[in-house]
Structure 1
Amino acid sequence: MRRSEFDRAVTDEFGPRGGALLVDLVLSDLGDRTATQALDAGVPPREVWLALCAETDVPPERRYGAGRLQPRRS
C-alpha cells in the first residue's frame, strides 16, 4: 500500500473525521503511537492501515484492497 492509497482509504472509510483519527487515536498495535506518529517513524502504510482498522472495528471485507483506484476500462 502506498501512502496515497492509505490516505484515500482513510478518507473513504472515515470521511471528515479521518484526519482527527490519524492524529488523536493511539494505536496499541503500533507501540501506543498515533497513525501519524507511526507513519513518521517509518511504519509501512499497510501496517498502519490494518492497525487503524482493528482499533476502529472496520469489518475485514473493507480492510484489504482499500484505497486502490478502480481499473480503467478501455
Structure 2
Amino acid sequence: MRRSEFLRAVEAEFDGRAPALVNDLVLSPLAGRTAAEALADGTPPRQIWFALCDEMDVPEARRHGAGRLEPRKR
C-alpha cells in the first residue's frame, strides 16, 4: 500500500472524519503516534492502515485492497 492509497482508503472509509483521525487519533500499535506522525517517521502505510482499522473497528471485509484505484478499462 502506498501513501496515496492509504489516504484514499481513509477518506473512503471515514469521509469527513478522515483528517481528524489521521492527525489527532493516537494509535497504541504505533507507539502512541498519530497516523500522520507515523507516516512522517517512515512507518509503512499498510501498517498504519491496519492500526487505524483496529482502533476504529473496521470490519475485515473492508480492510484489504482499500484505497486502490480501479483498473483502467481498455
If the TM-score is normalised by the length of the shorter chain, which range does it land in?
over 0.9
Partners of 1:14 and 1:66 in 2: CA distance: 12
Matched, 1:56 2:32: no
TM-score computed with the length of structure 1 as normaliser: 0.96
Over the matched positions of the two proteins, sequence identity in percent amounts to 62
Partners of 2:67 and 2:42 in 1: CA distance: 19
1:54: Cα distance to partner? 0.4
Matched, 1:10 2:46: no
Partners of 1:2 and 1:39 in 2: CA distance: 11
1:71: Cα distance to partner? 1.1
1:73: Cα distance to partner? 1.8
Alpha-carbon RMSD: 0.6
Give 1:1-74 correspondences, 5 Å limit: 1-74=1-74
Structure 1: gaps of 5 or more residues: none
TM-score computed with the length of structure 2 as normaliser: 0.96
Report how many aligned residue pairs link the two structures. 74
